[in-house]
Copies of this chain bind each other. A is one copy, B any other.
Amino acid sequence: MKKADVKELILEAKKAKGLGWEEIASKIGMSPVWTTSVCFGMNSAPKDKADMLVALFDLPPEASAVIQECPMKIWDQAVPTDPAIYRLYEIVGVYGETIKEIIHEKFGDGIMSAIDYEMYIERKEDPKGDRVVITLDGKFLKYRAW
């Protein structure tokens, strides 16, 4: 059993049970983004959360160990084609140098960690059309001099 198999099982169970990601996340006491990424096999969960997912989705017991495994994070498309994902890539291309500049102004030479990292996605109501608000929250890591 691999992470891809567990993902398939979870997606089927989720549809059968009529659960949404927000609901699943709140049932295991974690955030929706992290929970979804664990179910999609792009993050590992600690044992207690893995067990809760197994129980919630009636997965076979060996799925818990698979959910706890450190994933090999691979994506095939260097430039993603799906429009919803491409727009994020485009934002990195258009605003990447700007973000780098402002991080350096606010923090000095270093980067925002993608490991010690959290992410939130919200719907903001707007009379001209509701808006997607995505929050990236990563620890600042300073370059070491030695």
Contact = CB atoms under 8 A, between A and B. Distances in A.
Interface residues on A, range: 35 or more
Given A79-B78, A84-B103, A85-B97, A141 B116 contact: yes
Interface of A: 15, 20-22, 30-34, 36-37, 40, 42-46, 49, 65, 70, 72-75, 77-119, 121, 123-124, 126, 128-146
B118 A144 contact: yes
Contacts of A43: 109, 143, 145
Contact of A119 (B49, B91, B105): B91
A141 B103 CA distance: 20
Contacts of A98: 33, 36-37, 40, 42
20 contacts: A33-B146, A34-B146, A36-B98, A40-B98, A43-B143, A44-B109, A75-B93, A83-B90, A83-B114, A84-B110, A84-B111, A85-B99, A88-B99, A91-B136, A102-B121, A112-B132, A115-B142, A116-B144, A123-B140, A131-B138
